[in-house]
């Protein structure tokens, strides 16, 4: 392969890479828009199903169910700050660590297609 052929191949690769990069950016933006729309529609579906006491719904693609999960609440700097302020009244360090790292559980309701 001559130097000119290698240079031409390199230029072709660069053009293809740039084109693929543009395509990927467009697809990512489209995917984000669709995820956002799905999230909005999912909230409406969850509200309707909850109002009408519907636990699951049969569709052509499977069963649409309400699933409730319990996940730990996030540990934020403000929570740590407030717990340390409350705990630093003659309390052993291990108790302070346990108090700071203790996180409550919150309920998360999701829509699942099975």
Same structural domain for residues 81 and 114?
yes
Same structural domain for residues 8 and 29?
yes
Same structural domain for residues 41 and 82?
no
The per-residue pLDDT for range 67-84, each reduced to its tens digit, is 888 888 887 878 877 777
Start-to-end CA distance of the chain, whole Å, equals: 55
Same structural domain for residues 65 and 95?
yes
pLDDT attached to residue 83: 77
Same structural domain for residues 47 and 83?
no
Spans of the chain, pLDDT less than 50: none
Containing structural domain, residue 105:
55-114
pLDDT attached to residue 93: 64
As given in the structure block, the two tokens for residue 81 are 């700050």
pLDDT attached to residue 101: 76
- How many independent structural domains does the chain possess? 2
Same structural domain for residues 67 and 111?
yes
């Amino acid at each position: 392969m001559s130097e000119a052929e290698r240079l031409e191949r390199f230029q072709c690769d660069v053009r293809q890479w740039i084109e693929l990069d543009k395509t990927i950016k467009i697809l990512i933006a489209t995917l984000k828009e669709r995820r956002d729309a799905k999230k909005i529609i999912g909230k409406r579906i969850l509200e309707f199903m909850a109002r009408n006491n519907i636990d699951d719904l049969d569709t052509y693609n499977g069963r649409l169910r309400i699933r409730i999960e319990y996940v730990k609440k996030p540990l934020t700097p403000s929570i740590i700050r407030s717990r340390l302020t409350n705990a630093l009244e003659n309390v052993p360090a291990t108790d302070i660590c346990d108090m700071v790292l203790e996180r409550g559980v919150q309920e998360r309701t999701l829509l699942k297609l099975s």
